[in-house]
Amino acid sequence: MKELAKIVNPERLQYSTVDFVDIAGLVKGASKGEGLGNQFLSNIREVEVILHMVRCFVDENVVHVEGDINPLRDIEIIETELILADVEQLDKKIEKLNRQAKADKSARVILEIALELKEHLDDLKPVSNFAKKDNELFLELNKELRFLSGKTIIYGANVDEDSLLEDNEYVKIVKAHAKEVGAEVVTLCAKIEEELVGLEEDEAEEFLSELGVKESGLNKIIHTAFAKLNLISYFTAGVKEVRAWTIKKGWKAPKAASVIHNDFEKGFIRAEVIGYDDFIVNSGEHGAKEAGKMRLEGKDYEVQDGDVMHFRFNV
């Protein structure tokens, strides 16, 4: 986006955003009310992706609640508590369905899959690998209960400075586990991330460069979260504002236009599209037009990540 701004020189920039909810860690027994207990669990139920920060460094001055460093144990504690919380939720739902099933045939059908899921969870298996998680009845159940152990997880491997460029043994263990469960791992150093806070963008880039790091941990987390949420961004670029608009991957041009204003979708005529790289290489819209890199796209065009777009509409 900085490169777009260098060319357009707008009055302001508006970046894409991902909202992160900072929730304090939980301990064994959280599903039964230990520590923050239900407060933690109710907060996490509202999110779409869980970023699970895992300690992957040794420092005698930083005490670990379990007494030693063992990332797999820490992961298991958290994920077991999520499963147990799901069991508690599901038990209440099954109790209700049992009452409804006496007179309601549809309740009996949902009860059947709820009992299958209950058996799965009782074996301490997460909702994420439930065999029928794509079943319509399960999806209906999940929409209501928002199972915690069914949410997408990103592991944040929190390392010391020396392990940023080369994985230590703890990170290797986390990555091996993540590969087994189909999760992503982002390696970062929380101490360095703290030092980056308050630095100007150029200063932050120079600081990271001196460490041999191309990108901050926060940026890596944002990019990974975008991918896991199936999100992309397109740009509008004018002298008043260069702005990134967040949409779901696969959206067609009219739907993508609706995030600017509903009228853009209702009265959509066409979209003028320049690929991001073409916009940069040709020094902006005028150069891209002269080079034949601007395309006119209709209602069936699937917007691509980084497209620079201008919509024509009539209402």
* CB 41, CB 24: distance < 8 Å: no
Q: How far apart are CA 24 and CA 44, in angstroms?
A: 10
- Looking at 207, 228, 249, the residue that finishes a domain is 228
Residue 284 and residue 223 share a domain: no
Q: Is the pLDDT of residue 57 over 90?
A: yes
Distances 303 to 232, 234, 246, 248, 309 between C-alpha atoms, Å:
9, 8, 11, 9, 9
Residues 27, 170 within the same domain: yes
Domain boundary among 183, 210, 228: 228
Q: What's the pLDDT score for residue 140?
A: 93
C-alpha distances out from residue 125 to 79, 82, 120, Å: 9, 10, 6
Q: What is the pLDDT of residues 65-116, one digit of tens each?
A: 767 899 999 999 989 989 998 999 999 999 999 999 988 888 999 999 999 9
Residue at a domain's end among 193, 228, 263: 228
The tokens for 234 are 């397109």
pTM here is: 0.82
Q: Do residues 301 and 271 make contact, with C-beta atoms less than 8 angstroms apart? A: yes
Q: Would you place residue 28 in the very low, low, confident or very high pLDDT band (cuts 50, 70, 90)?
A: low
Distances in whole angstroms, Cα of residue 192 to Cα of each of 198, 204, 253: 12, 10, 40
Could you tell me the CATH number of the domain that includes residue 144?
3.40.50.300
Q: Phi and psi dihedrals of 206, rounded to 5?
A: -65, -40
Cα–Cα distance measured from residue 4 to residue 306, given in angstroms and rounded to the nearest whole number:
11
Q: Give the model confidence (pLDDT) of 167-180 as tens digits.
A: 999 999 999 999 99
